[in-house]
Each structure stands twice: as structure tokens, then as C-alpha cells.
Amino acid sequence: MLNLSCLVASVGMEGMVEENGTSGGAGGADPLAGAGAAGPAHVVAVTTMQAPAQVQSVIQANQQSVIQTASNIQSVQLPKGNVILVSKPSSVIHTTQGTLQTLQIKPEPNTLMSSQGQSCSDDSCSDDESPKRKYREMLTRRPSYRKILNDLGGAEIAVIPAGALQAEGGLHTLSVSGGAGGGAIVQYATTNQDGQFYVPEDQTRKRELRLLKNREAARECRRKKKEYIKCLENRVAVLENQNKALIEELKSLKELYCQQKTE
């Protein structure tokens, strides 16, 4: 885990905060990263001091911050002294220079901090800036959807109820309840009368348990991926609207300028 004080220091220096971000999908197989030329986009949960509501936001490099709530969409200008609380360890925040003055990051209780141009102490950064570590992070795959979106809520991974495993002669039936796809029955042979291909029952049960867990994990992963994509699509809509408004503004300003010039 990168040390957060190092990241906060970069806010004052460059107007940018980055923590555990992907390197634009360089190493990981991320079909979603790099969709925009501006850099990695991450979803963060943001709370402002003035409007303490939980919102979801995707913030992109070299762009004005767009903070998007669950109910409506709003772009937010951050005056001096405002605080953004970022509860996602894998968040990336890029702002226009000078807009973001103070930042608090609270992935863990002990790491809460605020800073403007705070420098990074050697103690806190030495371990995380080794070449080996940096190289590993270059190759790391994208942050998990859980990290990106775990504030969006959703279905819990189903817990196997006690007694779900039951023996039925030569076959074992594993009843699975819950989950988006409804119930499922998995059957598997455990014995062979000729003594061939014998698989110890304990191992077979372990395998079934692993498959069940992975099945649920895959469902959850796909759900998170869908939400992530939905979030990106929302952001596209927001930015398209912003772009349209800016073009209109530019147009009217140009007209005004030409008008004054001719007078």
C-alpha cells in the first residue's frame, strides 16, 4: 500500500492525487482502462464538508472534477479550504491546478490526514518507493471492482447454509440457495465401483466448496463490473453535457468579442 502522505504531498505540487492507481492499463489486462486518452479513471466516494452527502464520482486527469450524486449530477467547484473525504484507497483524483486545496484520505482510521503542499517524510515513503515495488506496481493489474465500487452496495456473497451438503448414495448433491441466478444443484460422482478414479470424499467436498465460492465470486465480480461500466457511461454523459455547455459559452463569448471589436 502506498503511503498516503506522499500522495497528498502531490496535491499541492501538481494538483493531483494518485494512490494505487493503474498505470493506464500498461501491465494489467484491463479492457476498461485507457478508454479515454486523459488517463486512468477511478470511481471514488466523495463527501464535501459543505454538503455532507455520499456521492459517486469519476474523476479524470486534466479535467475539472465532476462529482456525481446518486440522484442527480452536479459539477462542483472547490473553493479554498474545502475538504474532500476519499474513502476509496484505490481512488485517483485529478483536478485543474489550484482548485483542490486540501485533501483528506481515510482508507484506514490511522491514515486520516489533510495537507496542502505537505512534503513526504523519508520514514513514511522509503519502503514504498523502492524500484522493485515501483516495477511491481507497473505490472499490477487494475484495482478490483470492490475497491472501486464497494460503496455502491449490493448483494452479499451467499453463505452456504449448514447442512447444504448432503449425501445421496453414489452421488452427492450440493444445494445452493440465494444469488442472482436463483438456486442451483450440483452433482458429482464420488466413488467408482471398479475402484478407479477414486477421489476422497473430503477432497471432493473441498473442491465443491471452492467451486461454489468461485461461482458466487464470479457473479459478484460481474455485478461490480456492470456497475463500474454504468458509472463510466454516466460520466460520459456528464462530460458530454459539460462539453456542449462550454462550446456554447465559447461561441457566445466569441460573438461578444467580435461585436465589441467592430464598435
Choice between 88 and 115, CB closer to DNA: 88
**Is 180 one of the binding residues for DNA (CB under 7 A)?**
yes
**Is 205 one of the binding residues for DNA (CB under 7 A)?**
no
Place of cell 492525487: 17
Choice between 186 and 236, CB closer to DNA: 186
**Is 186 one of the binding residues for DNA (CB under 7 A)?**
yes
* Pair 151, 56: CB distance under 8 Å: yes
**Is 154 one of the binding residues for DNA (CB under 7 A)?**
no
Per DSSP, the three-state class of 55 is: strand
**CA-to-CA separations, 214 to 100, 188, 217, 221, 227, in angstroms, rounded:** 41, 17, 5, 10, 20
The count of residues interacting with DNA (CB under 7 A) is 34
Q: Phi/psi class of residue 252: alpha, beta or left (left: φ > 0; alpha: ψ in -120 to 50)?
A: alpha
Binding residue (CB under 7 A) for DNA from 73, 128, 147, 151: 147
Query: Which amino acid is it at 15?
Result: G
The span from the CA of 35 to the CA of 185, in Å, is: 39
Q: Which of residues 9-38 bind DNA (CB under 7 A)?
A: 20, 28-31
Largest CA distance in the chain: 102
The span from the CA of 147 to the CA of 89, in Å, is: 7
**Is 151 one of the binding residues for DNA (CB under 7 A)?**
no
**Is 221 one of the binding residues for DNA (CB under 7 A)?**
yes
The span from the CA of 42 to the CA of 30, in Å, is: 13
- Only one of the segments 4-12, 75-83, 140-148, 234-242 lies at the binding site for DNA (rule: CB under 7 A); that segment is 140-148
**Is 211 one of the binding residues for DNA (CB under 7 A)?**
yes
Q: Which of residues 120-139 bind DNA (CB under 7 A)?
A: 136, 139
Binding residue (CB under 7 A) for DNA from 215, 232, 234, 242: 215
**Is 187 one of the binding residues for DNA (CB under 7 A)?**
no
**Is 224 one of the binding residues for DNA (CB under 7 A)?**
yes
Q: Which of residues 43-102 bind DNA (CB under 7 A)?
A: none
Q: What is the CA radius of gyration of the chain?
A: 25
The span from the CA of 94 to the CA of 42, in Å, is: 10
Give me the torsion for CA of 72, 92, 84, 221, rounded to 10°: 60
**Is 106 one of the binding residues for DNA (CB under 7 A)?**
no
The span from the CA of 210 to the CA of 205, in Å, is: 8
Choice between 218 and 247, CB closer to DNA: 218
- Only one of the segments 8-16, 116-124, 196-204, 219-227 lies at the binding site for DNA (rule: CB under 7 A); that segment is 219-227
Would you tell me which residues interact with DNA (CB under 7 A)?
1, 20, 28-31, 136, 139-147, 157, 180-181, 184, 186, 211-215, 217-222, 224-225
